[in-house]
């Protein structure tokens, strides 16, 4: 697949619409299109990397800081009282979109959500 066909590259470049909830130099945060849990958010690098292993270490600090910022906002705005962080890397682990992304899943007491992958 060419990067030009990548849906998350298109979102990062503003070529297709998404609900952006935050941005840093190298990452954006958008609401997942399929809100099985309200507030389900994706952290997406602006450049095309396939998995966590492709993201340069030098972006690590920014990625951690930005992910914490978005997760804190979820708590502050009461979208969740807690959260899960999830990343699917490669197809057998459930990765559908082949552009690295981290899921943030807001959680509430007794929400009976089962995180399986
Ligand atoms: P994964 O299984 O980790 O590759 O998850 C891909 C996620 O991307 C799924 O939760 C989809 O609902 C989400 N997704 C796919 N297309 C879009 C889109 N255009 N905008 C926002 N989220 C999307
Ligand atoms: Zn991409």
Q: In the chain, what are the domain boundaries?
A: 3-107
CA–CA separation, 10 and 17 (whole Å): 9
CB neighbour list of residue 32: distance below 8 Å, 6 or more residues apart = 40, 41, 42, 103
Choose which residue among 13, 45, 97 to substitute to test ligand 1 binding: the one with the highest number of ligand atoms within 8 A of its C-beta: 97
Q: Where are the alpha helices (DSSP H) in 13-80?
A: 60-76
Ligand nearest to the backbone CA of 50 = 2
Instruction: State pTM to two decimals.
Output: 0.96
CB 27 within 8 A of CB 44: yes
103 given a catalytic annotation: no
Query: Per-residue pLDDT tens for 8-59?
Result: 999 999 999 999 999 999 999 999 999 989 999 999 999 999 999 999 999 9
* Distance of alpha carbon 44 from the chain centroid: 5
- CATH says 3-107 is which class? alpha beta
Report whether residue 74 contacts ligand 1, using a CB cutoff of 6 Å: no
DSSP state of 113: -
- Percentage of the chain modeled with pLDDT above 70: 97
Task: Give residue 65 CA to ligand 1 midpoint distance, Å.
Answer: 22
């Amino acid at each position: 697949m060419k990067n030009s066909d990548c849906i998350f590259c298109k979102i990062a470049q503003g070529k297709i619409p998404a609900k952006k909830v935050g941005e840093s130099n190298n990452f954006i945060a958008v609401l997942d299109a399929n809100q099985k849990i309200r507030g389900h958010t994706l952290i997406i690098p602006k450049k095309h990397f396939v998995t966590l292993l492709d993201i340069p270490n030098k972006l690590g600090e920014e990625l951690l800081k930005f992910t914490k910022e978005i997760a804190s906002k979820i708590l502050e705005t009461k979208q969740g009282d807690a959260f899960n962080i999830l990343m699917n890397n490669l197809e057998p682990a459930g990765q559908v979109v082949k552009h690295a992304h981290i899921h943030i899943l807001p959680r509430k007491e007794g929400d009976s959500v089962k995180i399986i992958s």
